[in-house]
A and B are shown apart, each in its own frame.
Chain A
Amino acid sequence: MPRHYQYQPSRELHVVVLGAGGVGKSCLTGKLTFPLHKRLFSIFLQKLTWKTAQFVHNEWIESYDPTIEDSYRTQLQVDGRQVVLEILDTAGTEQFVAMRDLYMKTGQGFLLVFSITSASSLSELAGLREEIIRIKDDENIPIVIVGNKADLEENRAVPRAKGFSISQRWGAPYYEASARTRTNVEEVFIDLCRQMLRRDDEQQAQADADDGYNYDSYGIWTTKITCDNKTNDLQQHGRASRSENHDDWTGD
């Protein structure tokens, strides 16, 4: 492990979830933050008092309060590294177009969510991506494209191949997920975190190199390669691999 990992045991990463309204993108956030929340909380409870359960009939654990401060913070384990994820999901405020700029500024990684049942929701992403790149002033900002509502296969309006072709063009991984069946929810966030961590590491390395600090950057490259492999693996689990997408694409 590269040495600086030790100094940053748990990083805070800012993720912004974007997409047209009604694509269920907030469900992804909810699915990621809520159950984790719940899980963490019950573990916490158990540790504290071993189920003292002062007559709390599981009531408060079961209801989700989005108004509290850490409703959108969650912890994830990414390749053995603990990261704290702060998810900015402005669900419900899609109509506040001018606010997007503010939200995007805070993000280090972006989840672009569309619904596979709506072609227009996909076309909206292009504009969002433009905006991200413009605002972050960075072509390589970590992005993951998510086709949500993958459980509604019968209503599919966006062929899988289309998703992959966009994924290729944008150089961003594509997942088909379902918040309802909880398919690929965590994977999507983990992939994004992985990208963000990798960039962070690279920048760190660059900064170190700039400082004239003499150290072996080999470790980082190794890490990067393993990351790549894992990404591919993950994508294979995520219903389709890039090679498949390529075939589909050329088949078109």
Chain B
Amino acid sequence: MLSSQSMRASLQVAPLSFAKIHDESTGDGSSTSDLDNNPYSQSHMTPPATPNGSQEDLSPQYLAPPAFHNFLRAFYPFNPSYAMSDTSVTLPLNEGDVILVHSIHTNGWADGTLLGSGARGWLPTNYCEAYEPDDMCNLLKALLNFWDLLRSTTVNDREIFGNQEFMKGIIAGVRFLLERTNCLNRESPFIQRNDVLRKCRKSLLSELSSLVKSAKRLQESQRPALSPVEDVNDIVDEMILKAFRIVTKGVRFVDVLDDDRRARAPASVTVMATVLEESYVPPTPPADQATFEDQTPRSVNDTDSQAAASVATSESSESTQTTMAIFNRRLSSLGSPTGPTTHRLSQASLVQAHRLSASISHRVSLAGPSPLSRAHHLVSERLNRTHDTFLSHLGSFIGRLHLQSQSRPELSSAIKQSALSGGELLAVVDGVYEHINSSSIVLAMARATMFERIQDLVFSARDTLANAESEEADVIMPQDNSILLNSATGCVRAAGDCVAKAKVAIERIGDFEFELESSSLGIDLSILDIAPEERARTPSVSEPSSNPSVIEESHRSSSGSSTLAPRRLTLTGVDKPLPEVPQDVTTPTEEQTPQNPSPASSRPSSAHDDNISSMASSISSLRPLLPPLPKLSTSLLPSEEYSPVDNHDNDFASTSRFDSMVASSAGSSATYLSRDSESSILSQSSTRATTPDHTLAPRNQPSMSELSTTDSSTHTEEVDDVESRLMEKTFAHELMFNKEGLVTGGSLQALVERLTTHESTPDAMFVSTFYLTFRLFCTPMRLAEALIERFDYVSESPHMTGPVRLRVYNAFKGWLESHWRDETDRDALGLIMPFSEIKLRSVLPSAGRRLLELAQRVSGEGSLVPRLVSSMGKTNTSIAQYVPADTPLPQPAVSSRQTNLLASFKSGTSSPTILDFEPVELARQLTIKQMNIFCSILPEELLGSQWMKKGGVSAPNVKAMSSLSTDLSNLVAETILQHPEIKKRAAVIKQWIKIAHQCLELHNYDGLMAIICSLNSSTISRLRKTWDAISAKRKEMLRTLQALVEPSQNNKVLRTRLHDHVPPCLPFLGMYLTDLTFVDIGNPATKQMALGNESEDDSSNGITVINFDKHTRTAKIIGELQRFQIPYRLVDIPDMQDWMAAQIKRVREGDQGNVQVSYYRKSLLLEPRETALRIPSEPQPTTSLGALQNASRTDLFAWMSRDRGNPTPTPTPTPTPAQV
């Protein structure tokens, strides 16, 4: 068992060590220096105000993704095997592969598992994009939970696999997928008309049924002493692989469905003549060029060949299309800054968006010529595209603003471009607006805002230009920059908002075809026009060609062209003075393409440094390290696959270039060059490590292919069976789990479903929590309704109708028998009785009779169970340890004299004092008294801060407990203060210290607390003369006891002691009360649960579920308290109990008004303030509190410091209530 556990654990660990490389990459100063040295890159990326250290600030923003995505999908093939030296653990990717991500390293590499093969390793995130389509989200989430649960070593195997609960999520996920896509039914029209889709659906279901079968096998293997544990791990691994396959099939299904939908969209197959221009690469500002060039020092011819190679890729137009759609989706999420708080932030996202869109439009342009490009005409595509363009213009514009010297012509043309592309976007939005019959006010408003912002931008630009002209300078002042920057970021925000609104609208009405007419913004841009000589170079409009072979040329020349009005073309022409080599404009974008989203790409040199260091370490350690991102190989990889020859040359060219760049580290580049030889050996061995099933456990693991063959042979009946299971109504998707597989939230229906699960006996903790707390989240009526509803709808699933109905009956029975609370639950009888009489009786006659009988008894008697304390509603029965009955009862420590004293007390002749009895016996009798009350505390008294409300009427025992505790404290003070003689007082104090000590011996912390509190109180502790008469030994004892009740650090000492304490023990009730109070207020009653895409607005898509976690916590604390509700085995001495009761009664009656104050007065009378005698010569400060605290360690009650630091000379010893 142990070994297998550790093995599972090892599978869980990422195959690489993170920290080291991380350190190296960040700790290496040279990694950023390259960028720092480049004035362009710096000025481009950061606000001018803080040029130093800006790289550090910037990088996290670059890195920060919108969210952590659990699933990625590759949009580029990635084939590391040849290129990596230490590589090993990098995963080859195929286009469309879906990856389960475990973590993402800052350098952009993700530790993930390929769902297709189950292999785990590192992969470049820049080759992937987040994969979370709405339809799939539940299945993906279920897979996450499944993985967590099955890979978790913290959970007892038997606990999880004992039932089929863990399977429900996957099944519900598949069901959700099919339901959302209207393919739940085999007869669905979608399925009927598309054969591929039908097959996909079938294979999905057969995978599911295969998984269900494995799960059954696993469950059986859990039956005691059937199979060795080793097998369990085999099955678990197999099941995970199968679950992966289910998701893979699901992905395929969704893809096919998308294709189907697209194909069915009424399409006018007009290939736009201007495909090329439409998707032209946005102009790259000079600064960007510089940056790119600096970052990706690559040969120029590289580009061309790669472009050609990519064209080849695009022949599979279908896939490209989907990729493009995906691209756009992500882009829009990246590009619309949800709330950029700083300029820099928004700028960063802008720049990123700009780069992204650059790469995307590039891809589009390559895909463009394909006949299937009609999807480009869908309004959503257009919206995304125009938005991207707009953002990229603005992005480049903002980038320029950060160049200190801004030339007028550049500025004006940039503004114009931005304005025009903004106009384009607005035109699309208008199209949407018209299409929805102008019914969306929000969209109209967003559009208006965006228009205003653009107008602002143009006007502020005009003002700036006008100023510049008057000053006869060709340079825009830096102070104007901030105005422009503000307007530009305003534009970005408004555009993001507008596009989001438009998308909502589109979603509502559905996508439609949309032709973009030439748009005019309605803002006179001629105000921006400047001297004609600036327009020197107007490029010819590139011929709209759909022939891939000419793309290279046209691409280059059309960098300034556009789809739109001719006017636009001239403008953009103006924009491109292009001081640098023309090809360079495309080079960086092109090179950047695969790397753009990756943080690593922004720090190529650091990646390189990683490389060197990890290289060294990978040799020494067998454990493969994080493969660094060798930028050369990665960036070249895509082309490699398609045009190996071309690429080979390029590769060498670029490698040599790389060499020259990092001439200092020749060693590493050598490694690169020799990658073909020894590194391939290395890689082989470590790829095995990636796939843990093969290397770590050389057992009979069916390979993926084997699995698939067995899967395909799955019988049709089984598929049908699974299919029928899918048709069942379930609320399983409305449950939330934590890592340990415990329910943390869910709708009432889902919780009830869990309560009445048929596969196994439900989790005891869950059930007891539910019964204990359900009145906090629903009414008894609602619970009865939900149970009956469950009884009804389970009939849709014939295979489990019987067991579930029995469980419903049991749930009712358990409620009535042991959790019934008459005062609140009585109403529910109105539902339960007819239910048992009619519905239940017709199905399960005897159960019906029994339930009716119970209900009748309950209605008569209130509750069936005599509320016998310690047996009632125990939250955790397994822990309950009873004191063995044969434990010898301790002999009462009462002498005959003491017995006589008690007897005479009974007869009223004498009144013994506390000093007359043995401390041990006093402590015992006290403990019995307290424990009696403690044991009668009912769990419901502790719910919802009952004891605090209405004076605690509904929590009588809690109240009694706290009163007794207070009375005891008062008794301590009273008995001490009643003696005028110091010696007597000291004797009483000594006696109480001994009693407290005996309480500790008995583990009576409640009594201990009460006594110590009183001894420690200011009233008693200030009696310095009395304390002087107490031996050092007793004082030492008291100090030890004090340390136990020290409330600091959340009662750390006491908590530690109580943890795992064995009963009998009487804990301090107050601690539980505080905990319960804070659980109650610190955790909300409900949770938001996303049903659709998580990144979207929760309120529209999610449901509000019960925060069951809060109730579990409450139940846990109550369970902890109940654990101690076990009486002591002590002999009750009735006479002494009576005497004690009388003492307490006396104290209680004696204290009218504020006891604390009257005791304090008494204390002052006994030992007047010493300090009052002292003449305050100067305004002295009060005691240093720190000193006071320190002093108290050595000096029990800090008299010394008090004497010195008595603050104000208050001559009257009485407190001053008059002040109030």
Contacts and interface: CB of A to CB of B under 8 A. Distances in A.
Interface residues of B, number: 84
A140 interface: yes
Interface stretch (A124-132, A148-156, A181-189, A237-245): A124-132
Contact of A92 (B948, B1018, B1050, B1055): B948
Contacts, number: 208
A83 to B, nearest CB: 13
B1129 interface: no
Interface string B359-385: 000000000000000000000000000
* Dominant SS among interface residues on chain B: helix
Contact of A91 (B969, B1078, B1087): B1078
A169 interface: yes
Interface stretch (A63-71, A211-219, A222-230): A63-71
B966 A138 contact: no
Nearest to B1006: A96
A90 interface: yes
B1050 A96 contact: no
Contacts of B736: 59
B970 A98 contact: yes
A57 B1202 CA distance: 53
Contacts of B1052: 69
Chain A interface: which size bin?
A: 35 or more
Nearest to B147: A55
B857 to A, nearest CB: 36
Given A71-B1050, A98-B1017, A203-B1184, A93 B1074 contact: yes
Given A92-B1074, A101-B1016, A102-B1013, A51 B1117 contact: no
B335 to A, nearest CB: 21
B327 to A, nearest CB: 23
B1050 A101 contact: no
B1097 to A, nearest CB: 17
A49 B1016 CA distance: 47
Contacts of B1017: 98, 101-102, 135
A106 B1047 contact: yes
B94 interface: no
Contacts of A49: 18, 103
Nearest to B1154: A127
Interface stretch (B271-279, B658-666, B1212-1220): B1212-1220
B1049 A134 contact: no
A52 B1187 CA distance: 45
A98 B1206 contact: no
A98 B1047 contact: no
B104 A51 contact: yes
Nearest to B963: A95
Given A22-B949, A67-B1075, A98-B970, A93 B1049 contact: no
A126 B1160 CA distance: 17
Interface stretch (A26-34, A74-82, A113-121): A26-34
A94 B968 CA distance: 16
Contact of A200 (B148, B952, B1117, B1184): B1184
B1185 interface: yes
A30 B1181 contact: no
B1009 A135 contact: no
B529 to A, nearest CB: 48
A140 B1207 CA distance: 8
Contacts of A27: 1081
Given A27-B1081, A53-B68, A130-B1215, A63 B1055 contact: no
Contact of B947 (A89, A92, A134, A169): A92
Contacts of A55: 70, 102, 144, 147-148, 739
A220 B68 CA distance: 49
A243 to B, nearest CB: 23
Given A34-B1082, A86-B1049, A99-B1013, A135 B1113 contact: no
Contact of B102 (A54, A88, A93, A130): A54
B941 to A, nearest CB: 12
Nearest to B945: A92
A86 B1186 CA distance: 14
Nearest to A64: B1082
A47 to B, nearest CB: 10
B103 A52 contact: yes
A57 B921 CA distance: 54
Contact of A140 (B1154, B1182, B1219): B1182
Contact of B63 (A50, A126, A141): A50
Given A64-B1082, A93-B962, A126-B1220, A137 B1206 contact: yes
A21 interface: yes
Interface of B: 18, 63, 68, 70, 102-106, 144, 147-148, 736, 738-739, 744, 945, 947-949, 952, 959, 962-963, 965-966, 968-970, 1009-1010, 1012-1014, 1016-1019, 1045, 1047-1050, 1052, 1055, 1070, 1073-1079, 1081-1083, 1087, 1109-1110, 1113, 1117, 1154-1157, 1160, 1180-1187, 1202, 1206-1208, 1210, 1215-1217, 1219-1220
Given A51-B104, A93-B1070, A207-B1184, 5 more contacts: A26-B1078, A92-B945, A95-B947, A105-B1016, A138-B1182
